[in-house]
Amino acid sequence: MSQKKIDLYGVMGDPISHSYSPNIHHLFALQTNQNISYELFLVPPDDLENAIKSFQIKGGRGLNITLPHKTTVLNYLDEISERARIAGAVNTLLFEEGRICGDNTDGVGLMNDLEKNYNLKLKGLNILILGAGGATRGILQPLLKANPLSLTVANRTLQKATALMEHFNSIGKISTCHFEDISDDITYELIINATSAGTKGQSNFFPINNINKNTFCYDLSYSTKPTPFKKWSIEKGVRHSVDGWGMLIEQAAESFYLWRGIRPDTNGILTKLLTHSH
Ligand code: ATR
């Protein structure tokens, strides 16, 4: 009797042991009846090219790429999707007939979570993004395309925010400011935390006054405990404050779809994930 072939996938990063991606893709594979394996690869920065080539030689079909490699991986690709090129970052590789193709599913992951899971329509909203690093870069294009009334990027280092504004100039208008200059005149309906401050345990640096119970607060980072940004926003009286679990699962679903051509149902995955992982 012939054995059905197992297709190889995985994620490369450094550090990597904390990654939930194997569990998520395992749940997707069970749900959609796909015969795949998905492994964690601890890959230090100097090893990335070798690690990708070895995976390709082994017959690997697809990879996720996470910190700190999302930008440097651009050097090792044969093709890059339009959305990844604009984001300047890649989180998904597809190995097709000897070619390595890079894509970025982070932006669509956030949009699916906001628009489908939370039913938030971004058109006409005032959006504030805190932070101007790689995470912000990955989400600006779809946010601008959703036609918000305004989009402001506030950052500790103004220069970095201004560089992003210039990079995305052709897609839409972005305003920039220092954290301490966040306007008291605009009521932001959506505030996204894209800084890495919370992971360092810092949270009291958001000088935002006109936040109210209707402001939707979204933290791109996630944790099994409430994140510092989530705690901060709830203390401010916000009713809708969520962390980045939804985006994590949605970007994985989009990668899975690119690889397998089947879109997994993300409903209920988080509950299963947290039940199985802990
Ligand atoms: P990522 O790829 O996760 O976005 P990054 O590119 O290092 O990581 O960017 C981290 C972001 O968090 C930056 O906007 C950074 O601000 P600076 O550009 O001024 O460095 C922001 N950040 C990190 N720690 C912070 C803190 N304690 N207070 C405010 N912003 C912080």
CB contact at 8 A, 83 and 103: yes
Buried b (16+ CB within 10 A) or exposed e, 90-129: bbbbbbeeeebbbbbbbbbbbbbbbeebeebebeebbbbb
Give the residue-averaged pLDDT of 131-156.
Answer: 95
> Over pLDDT 70: what percentage of the chain?
96
Q: Would you say the CB of residue 134 lies under 6 angstroms from ligand 1? A: yes
Alpha carbons 269 and 231: distance in angstroms, whole number: 24
Q: Which residue has the higher pLDDT, 267 or 5?
A: 267
Burial grade of 196 (CB within 10 A; 0-12, 13-18, 19 or more): middle
pLDDT at 65: 97
CB contact at 8 A, 113 and 106: no
Sign of CA dihedral 193, 27, 256, 116: negative
Atom of ligand 1 nearest to the CA of 202: 27
Residue 176 binned pLDDT confidence (cut-offs 50, 70, 90): very high
Do the strands 92-96 and 62-65 form a parallel or antiparallel pair, or are they unpaired?
antiparallel
pLDDT at 199: 73
Give the residue-averaged pLDDT of 4-26.
Answer: 95
pLDDT at 208: 84
Q: Would you say the CB of residue 61 lies under 6 angstroms from ligand 1? A: no
Q: Enter the pTM of the model.
A: 0.94
pLDDT at 122: 97
pLDDT at 3: 60
- Which pLDDT tens digit goes with each residue over 177-231? 999 999 999 999 999 999 988 777 666 567 888 899 999 999 999 999 999 999 9
Angle at the Cα of 255 (from 160 to 124), degrees rounded to 5? 55
- Which pLDDT tens digit goes with each residue over 96-138? 999 999 999 999 999 999 999 999 999 999 999 999 998 999 9
Q: Whose CA is nearest to atom 27 of ligand 1?
A: 197
**Lookup: tokens for 156:** 């500790």
Cα–ligand 1 centroid distance for 197 (angstroms): 6
